[in-house]
Structure 1
Amino acid sequence: MIFIRYENWKDYLKFFPLTSFFLIANVVMFIVLTLNGGARSVPALFHFGALINDGAYVNEWWRYVTAMFLHGGFDHLLFNSFALIVFAPPLERLLGSARYGVLYLAGGVVGNILAIAWYKSIGELTILLGASGAIYAVYGAFLYIALFQRNIMDETSRKTLYTLLLFGIIFSVAVANVSWMAHLGGLLGGFFIYGLIIRLWKPRIFRK
């Protein structure tokens, strides 16, 4: 079962440095928001990089990245941190930190781009923030592995992934103020980016 964590915190930092960095960055930015008006303060969110499909902000492309490190409440941060702590480490070990970092960030950006395009198409003003799109990119990579590299993932982990995705879909659609398009976009982004990485920038484990 690849999704069970056995490491102590020292080993976790050693084996999963980039996942640890993402976690720390999320927590630090939450503290920064809290000290500057609160994580639900719209001015603070705008100031520190939240993404909005308003004409005055939509061309500030850096927001597609910075929004991934902001969270609109402790529950939001806690949920995403748990997912990152538990599910991301096996992918970092498999791909290596550099490739994993590219997939995580690029998948999150894809999710944000598609979400902004969706809300713009329906004429709905929205604010996007959170690591969910990037986390779903990790899920997308694991979905590719579960479907096409079955020798890498055991059956129990595969079933856990499918169950996680099923509940994730239900959660994304049923819960208010959750961007299902960012989740779907991240999932699709991670799926296809992983496929490109293992072909164009092969990790050592996949080299013949």
Structure 2
Amino acid sequence: MQIINKESKSYVTWVLLAVTIGVFIVESLVGGSQNYQTLLLMGAKTNNLVQAGQWWRLITPIFLHIGIFHIFMNGFTLLYVGQILEPMVGHWRFFVIYMLSGIMGNLASFAFGANNVISAGASTSLFGMFAAFLALGLIYRENRFLRELGKSFLGLIAVNLLMDLTMSGIDIWGHIGGAVGGLLLGYALGLPKISRPKMIFRILAILVAVAISYYMYAKGMIVYG
């Protein structure tokens, strides 16, 4: 079983990082990355605006960050983890996991989070990346490397969620939603050129992800409508 293609470069990881840094620079120039009005202008998520029809605020927060420490930590994590995951799953799979798990995280925040707060950050996508390793460890259990990698990232998810409970200003629902998205998408996509899991299970994972996403969107619209 081929796990990492050493000839493969982490192009998508670097592009995502570059875009994220570029957006942060624009934030800083426009009015400051911690300025409420600037964050709203740039597309940060607030539940009432999503409910009002600004659905793109479920996507744009992935690239927005609040303060230099926020972008430094998320940027470093994206670069470090992305250079492991992207060569394993391939460029387009990595991009799909990153973006869609981020959107599912923002949907979870929309459905279950507080209405009067603003949220932004790539951590929804990062939790999706963590959970994708867990999915690979479950699919290819016979591979010790993937199994141990999955256990390590499961522990990382658990520790971070426990820390979320003790810290203020952290969108734990976004992290949970991102992890659920990454787990389902990782299971649906698997590793390239390997016919596992079976197509029926891939399709089922996609359907579950779609159903959960629809439920969270509908719940958010009802609660905040």
Identify the TM-score tier after normalising by the shorter chain: 0.7 to 0.9
Residue in 1 that maps onto 2:83: 89
Which residue of 2 is the match for residue 67 of structure 1? Answer: 61
State the TM-score, normalizing by the size of structure 2: 0.77
Go from structure 1 to structure 2 and tell me whether the alpha carbon gap of 1:112 and 1:52 turns closer, same or farther (over 3 Å shift): same
Alignment RMSD, CA only? 2.2
- Could you say which residue in structure 1 is the equivalent of 2:173? 181
For residues 112-123 of structure 1, what are the structure 2 equivalents within 5 Å?
A: 112-119=106-113
1:135 aligns with 2:132: no
Q: Structure 1 residues 77, 47: closer, same or farther in 2, change over 3 A?
A: same
Please give the alpha-carbon distance, in whole angstroms, between the structure 1 residues aligned to 2:169 and 2:49: 21
Give runs of aligned pairs for residues 32-43 of structure 1, distance below 5 A: 32-43=26-37
CA contact (8 A) 2:135 2:187 kept: yes
Checking the alignment, whether the CA contact within 8 Å between 1:145 and 1:152 is kept in structure 2 is no
**Counterpart for residue 3 of structure 2:** none
Does residue 192 (structure 1) correspond to residue 184 (structure 2)? The answer is: yes
1:125 is matched with which residue?
116
CA contact (8 A) 1:172 1:178 kept: yes
> Conserved in 2, the CA contact under 8 Å of 1:143 and 1:191?
yes
Is the CA contact (8 Å cut-off) linking 1:105 and 1:134 kept in structure 2? yes
Question: Normalising by structure 1, what TM-score?
Answer: 0.83
- Cα distance in 2, alignment partners of residues 54 and 154 from structure 1: 41
Q: Any residues of structure 2 matched to 1:89-108 within 5 Å, and which?
A: 89-108=83-102
- Name the structure where helix makes up a greater proportion of residues: 2
Partner of 1:181, secondary structure, is helix
Number of equivalent positions = 190
Tell me which amino acid in the other structure corresponds to 1:143: L
Indicate the SS of the match to 1:128.
coil
Q: Please say if residues 140 and 146 of structure 2, whose CA atoms lie closer than 8 Å, have aligned partners that are also in contact.
A: no
Q: Distance in 2 between matches of 1:58 and 1:71?
A: 23
- Residue 27 (structure 1) aligned with residue 21 (structure 2): yes
Unmatched 5+ stretches in structure 2 = 1-5, 197-225
Alignment of 1:172 onto 2:172: no
Amino acid at match of 1:203: P
Q: Answer whether contact 1:51 1:57 (CA < 8 A) is retained.
A: no
Partner secondary structure for residue 66 of structure 2: coil
Identity of aligned residues (%): 27
Change (3 A) 1:56 1:181: closer
Following TM superposition, by how much is the alpha carbon of 1:58 offset from its aligned partner in structure 2, in angstroms? 4.6
Which structure 2 residues correspond to residues 2-17 of structure 1 after superposition, within 5 A? Answer: 15-17=9-11
User: Contact 2:135–2:150 (CA<8 Å) still a contact in 1?
Assistant: no
5+ long unaligned stretches in structure 1: 1-6
